[in-house]
Structure 1
């Protein structure tokens, strides 16, 4: 299904005043959608912990069988749910105090996932401040994949070959993302305070020891390794499949280009249209425009906010991009293919 663009227009510097966003912010605030949803999050965290425990119980029950390895699939899905909750804690959506949200993030991220809450919050907050802005957004920075023609031209050796075929390699590379997140979390601690190193590092070690001990105590080594490989590979693909459609192939501000908050967040983001299944699999983050405009809004309220955001964008003449799931991947991969084209 093609993208839905509401009231398309070119970004205009004359319309970049803060008042463009202020009426929408006031309307959302008056709607009550900014209020905390403690009951929702208590249920979400409780159900997620119960599902995780039940799946490991199933691993113990099935025992010494290669069929047990297939439980790595639902374990990956539940781990992604844990990641979504850690994401919300990082945006201070769950608890009222920053301290409580930080500790929730540390437990959900460092302890349960082995993914550093401090590392992720630092990276993700920089992304939110300047989405798709090369040099400011780490998600489009220099790395294995190239997001601009200039980045692709600077790649050498194996990375140049990867950039040349990156659209085809994108999903296979995501199978390594689960491990990459853990490596990045550990490396991030090198420049942190002693206190952060002890707390965050200690929780990361506790996760690694507990995870390995649990898997190896329930299964023979070869089956335990296979289970962990399946879980981490699909966990990376799941997260990548959720986050890739949100910004790839959308507007990328030129150096020196200044947009107000409304345009900076809306023009660089893409919503993914879908029903309850799409919403659940993507954790509600398929309402990416609403999330970027109001990152502190509880994730479960984003769908309710969408009509007023879409209406406001139409009135302000700001393109509001929404596509189906398949179309979103087609556009994202098309952008990657276009960037790699000169190398081919």
Structure 2
């Protein structure tokens, strides 16, 4: 893992750097809502969702249903991206509208909205902080050599070759999403956990009933494996380029807000197709600086943010998609080095 090094800004104290950038972004009108865009996007995604399930019913007992499973995996990923934007209040200004819409979207893919929102909020506050960011907490994988040295059990075994296992393991991410959402319902501190539990249960019952009602058991299981596996792979591939392979912080290592967000994030360059496939999260630096900015405005904000970072001497990383995966895998391989070299006592 790399460590953060920050050159001194040319002007202003660190504490006011973000305030100045925020004024520039606001003056450019980039924080305003985009109701037309989101009406079109949500309608399109909802239409694709309905089309996918209609195709599932029409294809019926045919192995072509696995092609439908692959299609629905992509659609589920797009629904997750809509839920992400809704949760950040990019779509609706009012909290209640955001929560209702987010829960509907979450229910459509079997995700507990309250659990995910809490987890994602903590990630945004302290990205890539191994003590505070749940996305880099040691679980099945280890994200730093310190975590590797402390690893036991399955993480110790997987961590040795985690860079090679990363993408295969992503096929389990859809299942992990459902399991983690279900576990969170038992947490009494989770707000609206009863509602989330009902919605999650309703999704699982409806989903499994549809599969085993329309398809014979073997085909239903194959559909479930393809659909959930590809959904997990797509979902994990959406988020892996954003922070994996970027500097890891510790609890007492907290740069100011602007540097904390920029230096731990990576942009992925590309055109309109990249924006659609990654839901605008390819502009991860801008998203982390301005979480409520509508995703279609992030590309426009990029020019201002990049120039501003250059003026301050703050590293601004932007790569191609393949390069971002290579950097993430290289970082994972380095993090697991102590396990391969048997530096951890048995």
The alignment's TM-score, normalised by the length of structure 2, stands at: 0.93
Greater alpha carbon shift after TM alignment, 283-292 vs 244-253: 244-253
CA contact (8 A) 1:177 1:236 kept: yes
Aligned-partner Cα distance in 1 for 2:190–2:285: 37
Question: Residue by residue, what CA displacement relative to the aligned partner does 1:225-249 show, whole Å, maximum 9, x if unpaired?
Answer: 2112111111111111111111111
Does the alignment pair 1:223 with 2:226? no
CA deviation after TM superposition for structure 1 residue 300, in Å = 1.6
CA contact (8 A) 1:9 1:317 kept: no
Which residue is equivalent to 2:293? Answer: 297
Which residue is equivalent to 2:21? Answer: 24
Which residue is equivalent to 1:155? Answer: 151
Structure 1 counterpart SS, 2:186:
helix
Q: Measured at CA, do residues 172 and 194 of structure 1 come closer, stay the same or move farther in structure 2, by a change above 3 Å? A: closer
Q: Measured at CA, do residues 286 and 16 of structure 1 come closer, stay the same or move farther in structure 2, by a change above 3 Å? A: farther
Structure 1 counterpart SS, 2:300:
helix
Structure 2 counterpart SS, 1:297:
coil
Does the alignment pair 1:185 with 2:184? no
Which residue is equivalent to 1:171? Answer: 167
Structure 2: tracts of 5 or more residues without a match: 341-346
Question: Residue by residue, what CA displacement relative to the aligned partner does 1:43-83 show, whole Å, maximum 9, x if unpaired?
Answer: 21111111111111112222211121121111010000000
- When the two chains are superposed, the root-mean-square deviation of aligned CA atoms in Å is 1.8
CA contact (8 A) 2:172 2:228 kept: yes
Question: Residue by residue, what CA displacement relative to the aligned partner does 1:117-162 show, whole Å, maximum 9, x if unpaired?
Answer: 1111100010000001111001111211001111111222332110
Greater alpha carbon shift after TM alignment, 264-273 vs 181-190: 181-190
Which residue is equivalent to 1:45? Answer: 42
Note the 1:61-80 alignment, pairs <5 A.
61-80=58-77
Aligned-partner Cα distance in 2 for 1:215–1:46: 25
The match for 1:36 among 8, 33, 37 is 33
Aligned-partner Cα distance in 2 for 1:258–1:206: 42
Q: Measured at CA, do residues 126 and 15 of structure 1 come closer, stay the same or move farther in structure 2, by a change above 3 Å? A: farther
Aligned-partner Cα distance in 2 for 1:291–1:95: 17
Which residue is equivalent to 1:95? Answer: 92
The alignment's TM-score, normalised by the length of structure 1, stands at: 0.93
Aligned-partner Cα distance in 2 for 1:47–1:258: 41
CA contact (8 A) 1:16 1:259 kept: no
Structure 1: tracts of 5 or more residues without a match: 1-7
Question: Residue by residue, what CA displacement relative to the aligned partner does 1:14-42 show, whole Å, maximum 9, x if unpaired?
Answer: 97622111111001111111111122112
Does the alignment pair 1:265 with 2:253? no
Question: Residue by residue, what CA displacement relative to the aligned partner does 1:279-313 show, whole Å, maximum 9, x if unpaired?
Answer: 21111101000000000001121111110111111
Aligned-partner Cα distance in 2 for 1:174–1:163: 15
Which residue is equivalent to 1:315? Answer: 311
Structure 2 counterpart SS, 1:320:
coil
Aligned residue pairs: how many? 336
CA contact (8 A) 2:185 2:194 kept: no
Aligned-partner Cα distance in 2 for 1:280–1:150: 37
CA contact (8 A) 2:8 2:313 kept: no
Aligned-partner Cα distance in 2 for 1:32–1:201: 39
Aligned-partner Cα distance in 2 for 1:260–1:140: 20
Structure 2 counterpart SS, 1:66:
coil
Structure 2 counterpart SS, 1:274:
coil
The match for 2:206 among 207, 210, 216 is 210
